[in-house]
A and B are shown apart, each in its own frame.
Chain A
Amino acid sequence: MTTATLKTGIQPISTGRRVKDRVVQVLVYLAFLVAVVPLVSVLYLVIKNGLARFDMEFLTHSMRNIGPNDAGGGAYHAIVGTLEQVLLASLIAVPIGLLTAVYLVEYSRGGRLARAISFFVDVMTGIPSVVAGLFILAFWILVLGFEFSGFAGAMALSILMMPTVVRATEEMLRLVPMDLREAAFALGVPKWRTIVKVVLPTALTGIVTGVMLAVARVAGETAPVLLTVFFTDSINTDPFHGPQMDLPLFIFSQMQLPNQTAIDRAWAGALTLILIVMLLNLLARLISWWRSPVRKG
């Protein structure tokens, strides 16, 4: 071995590098563990404590006429509220965010307007969620005089969703190779059709992931919803009129009560919220899988 080494000048891996390799490997695994431990323990706690009240009554009943010390009751009104508010927020934020990203990547050619938009999108990313709630409270409810409603909450949430959607979509659109756009142009396809039929479908999976991240983020927001949707114990399926409820608010209100039945309801609410976000994610995966060319292959 040593003679071979001398002849060709090719060395075996030195002990120093072997040690460094080991050390870095161990560090990487450790970092991974440190990141996973809180995640797993949160999941474990929520599932363990949430299962106590996670039953059909919880999923199908509201808190109407249930006193602070009573057992029973459920989060149906909050589930309905969360779904409606997140859906409305997505309906507002996704088109605006998508079109903004399309403008930034496909049309702006790096002009002054594009730089201004990029800057403000970055600023919006940093807006604390309570500020978005205060803005809608001050503008929509106090100045314009509309009542508390799920829609007001959806507007506050859409403010929080928009920058995430813009950023994610922008990144994905930039990843679409210029070749594909040129191929479409060379076939005599107008620019807008190229974007709709070639660029967006190619980036679809990434865009869906970005939108789901934004949805997951706002589904767990409490402060802006508290300021705009207010609070109710009853079922209100109309997001445009009157106070609604949603899951974070439900958790927030239940865990303030000093008895075990309420605490259990709060945990079950947390479990429901996690399940809803997970189901939405699965749904999004399913949609992008169904649209992807791999399936056809």
Chain B
Amino acid sequence: MAKQIEVAELDAYYGSHKAIEGITMTVEPRSVTAFIGPSGCGKSTFLRTLNRMHEVIPGATVQGKVRLEDQDLYGPDVDPVSVRRTIGMVFQRPNPFPTMSIFDNVAAGLRLNGRFSKSELNGVVEESLKGANLWNEVKDRLHKPGSGLSGGQQQRLCIARAIAVRPQVLLMDEPCSALDPISTLAIEDLISKLKTEYTIVIVTHNMQQAARVSDRTAFFNLAAQGQPGKLIEMAETSKIFTNPTEKATEDYITGRFG
């Protein structure tokens, strides 16, 4: 189920502004990869190029290669919709669909692609909510609106929604930055559980979080404001946090800048 991602010489643009430059990396399957770096260094932009969400923004373009196993995601005959079905995403702010109930939110990915029976949906919804550690909290109010949940529950609802379509990779863009410590802990536990089945990439501003949940860490930086962001260093998380190769990485993780 989980698959490896290979990125080669990837540049991403907003109009004529180059946001990230020359990124080459490999994301291992069944593991958690964390992206850290100062604001504006292009972590989120890079994350969004991995499932072709970058190009949703008007004027945004990508050059370079992203391969999932052997398939080039930016190949000429690749359907971006199908890429996004394979590589799911969880956003910074919880964004359940306000017009839908908890059940409908989780079922949305399947139902909006329209090919499932009622009993299949019931099974998938229960399984996904259990997978997101939310089932026990919401099983009695599945048909209440998702917007009535707390922030942390909403974020877990969004994770349940993302895993309901059974993606092979799960991208998370600062999934805990809007949450309190207890909810953050719940999400981190969930990430550790999910990595047995999915390839997970997480962007975070919280270095303790990167250290806690990730197996490998990539550090991004930009030379100056307005310059494109670059990948500085990527290695085992323990190595990045104890013995980084680059001076910039060490400065960042020891809090000397950024």
> A residues near B, CB below 8 A?
109-110, 177, 179-191, 193-194, 197-198, 201-202, 204, 291-294, 296-297
Contacts and interface: CB of A to CB of B under 8 A. Distances in A.
A297 B145 contact: yes
A186 B144 contact: no
A297 B146 CA distance: 9
B242 interface: no
Contacts of A109: 58
Contacts of A190: 81
Interface of B: 51, 53, 56, 58, 81-86, 88-89, 91, 93, 95-101, 108-109, 112-113, 143-145, 147-148, 158, 161-162, 165
Given A202-B99, A293-B98, A296-B143, A189 B109 contact: yes
The 9 A-B pairs with the shortest beta carbon distances in the complex, nearest first, are A188-B85, A187-B109, A186-B89, A293-B145, A179-B95, A189-B112, A201-B99, A188-B84, A183-B95
Contacts of A193: 112-113
Contact of A188 (B58, B95, B97, B165): B165
Contacts of A189: 81, 108-109, 112-113
A110 B147 CA distance: 32
Contacts of B89: 182, 186
A186 B53 contact: yes
Contacts of A181: 56
7 contacts: A183-B91, A183-B97, A186-B51, A186-B89, A188-B84, A189-B112, A189-B113
A201 B97 CA distance: 10
B145 A187 contact: no
A297 B161 contact: no
Nearest to A202: B99
A48 to B, nearest CB: 43
Given A183-B97, A202-B97, A188 B109 contact: yes
A72 to B, nearest CB: 51
A168 B100 CA distance: 23
Most buried by A among B56, B86, B144: B56
Contacts of B81: 185, 188-191
B112 A186 contact: no
Contacts of A297: 144-145, 148
A177 B53 contact: no
Nearest to B93: A179
A293 B162 contact: no
Binding site secondary structure of chain A = helix
B88 A186 contact: yes
Contacts of B51: 186
Most buried by A among B89, B98, B101, B143: B98
A177 B92 CA distance: 14
A185 B82 CA distance: 10
B95 A293 contact: no
A104 to B, nearest CB: 13
A185 B56 contact: yes
B97 to A, nearest CB: 6
A193 to B, nearest CB: 5
B67 to A, nearest CB: 19
Contact of B58 (A110, A187, A197): A110
Contacts of B113: 188-189, 193
Nearest to A187: B109
A72 B82 CA distance: 69
A267 B53 CA distance: 60
Contacts of B161: 183, 187
B93 A187 contact: no
Contacts of B162: 186-187
Contacts of B165: 187-188
A193 B109 CA distance: 11
Contacts of B82: 188
B95 A177 contact: yes
Given A182-B56, A197-B112, A187 B97 contact: no
A84 to B, nearest CB: 32
Contacts of B101: 293, 296
A292 B97 CA distance: 12
B74 to A, nearest CB: 16
Contacts of A292: 99
B58 A180 contact: no
Most buried by A among B53, B84, B85: B84
A153 to B, nearest CB: 36
A8 B158 CA distance: 48
Given A182-B91, A189-B81, A190-B81, A296 B97 contact: no
Contact of B95 (A110, A180, A201): A180
Contacts of A180: 95, 97-98
A181 B91 CA distance: 12
A179 B98 CA distance: 11
A73 to B, nearest CB: 48
Contacts of A179: 91, 93, 95
Given A184-B97, A186-B88, 19 more contacts: A177-B95, A180-B95, A182-B56, A186-B53, A187-B85, A187-B88, A187-B112, A187-B162, A188-B85, A188-B109, A188-B165, A189-B81, A189-B109, A189-B112, A191-B81, A193-B113, A198-B99, A198-B108, A293-B147
